[in-house]
Amino acid sequence: MSITMEEVKTLRHKTGAGVMDCKKALQETGGDIDKAVEYLREKGIAAASKKAGRTAAEGIVSSYIHMGGKIGVLIEVNCETDFVAKNEKFKELVHNLAMQVAASEPEFVSREEVPEEEIEQERKILRQQALAENKPEHVIDKMVEGRLEKFFEAKCLMEQPYIKDNDQTIKDLIMENIAQLGENIVVNRFARFAVGEEE
């Protein structure tokens, strides 16, 4: 049976699980939202969203050097215990996140970090572009908000499609790892360096 994006969104909102997990749960349960929630709980995926609120004070700083030393990334990712920080799966996640930063050049970890004035400036630019396309007024606001989502996707690590699986965002990837490792995981900060780039 075909599952709609609305059904997936509803289930994601209820559980915090990733898009692909929600889709699979809905397919397995014939589109029944309540049964899909149960399915995800049984798999331990829904519990990840609950863990996402817990304090993460352990973790590691990792580096990734790409293209013969032309691009480098330093990233700090936190978890709750030293035990998980030493886990190979956690280290692999941190490595993949560093590769993501190298490849996709985000400027912020999440949309909450983007300064309000930068968002407003972008909104103005997008509005001018929409007006230049002679779109009706009632369509312009929707266009601006839609394009603003693309802006966040480009600038914010958590919003970006994962380079190894474009059907998944980085937020989905982290939630999946929270479910598997049983601890909250937080990207604290990162820095990306490229030879010849100015500050």
In CATH terms, the superfamily for domain 58-110+156-194 is: Elongation factor Ts, dimerisation domain (3.30.479.20)
pLDDT of residue 89: 95
- Does CATH place domain 5-51 in 1.10.150.130? no
The whole-angstrom separation of Cα 110 and Cα 94 is: 16
C-alpha R_g of the chain: 19
pLDDT of residue 151: 94
User: Architecture of domain 115-154 in CATH?
Assistant: Orthogonal Bundle (1.10)
The whole-angstrom separation of Cα 24 and Cα 152 is: 27
pLDDT of residue 64: 95
pLDDT in tens, the chain (199 residues): 678 888 888 887 777 677 778 888 898 888 888 888 888 777 766 556 666 666 777 899 999 998 789 999 999 999 988 999 999 999 999 999 999 999 999 999 999 999 999 999 999 998 888 888 888 888 888 888 889 999 999 999 999 999 999 999 999 999 999 988 888 899 999 999 998 876 5
The whole-angstrom separation of Cα 114 and Cα 152 is: 9
State the chain's maximal CA–CA distance in angstroms: 58
Q: Where are the domains of the chain?
A: 5-51, 58-110+156-194, 115-154
Asked whether 156 and 106 are in contact (CB, 8 A), the reply is yes
pLDDT of residue 53: 64
pLDDT of residue 100: 96
In three state form, how does the secondary structure of 31-45 look? CCHHHHHHHHHHHCC
Asked whether 37 and 11 are in contact (CB, 8 A), the reply is yes
Question: Matching CATH topology for 5-51 and 115-154?
Answer: no
The whole-angstrom separation of Cα 120 and Cα 118 is: 5
pLDDT of residue 97: 97
**E strand spans, the chain:** 58-66, 71-79, 161-162, 165-169, 186-194
Six token digits for residue 33: 């939202």
Length of the chain, in residues: 199
Q: What are the CA-CA distances from residue 199 to residues 39, 85, 99 (Å)? A: 48, 31, 20
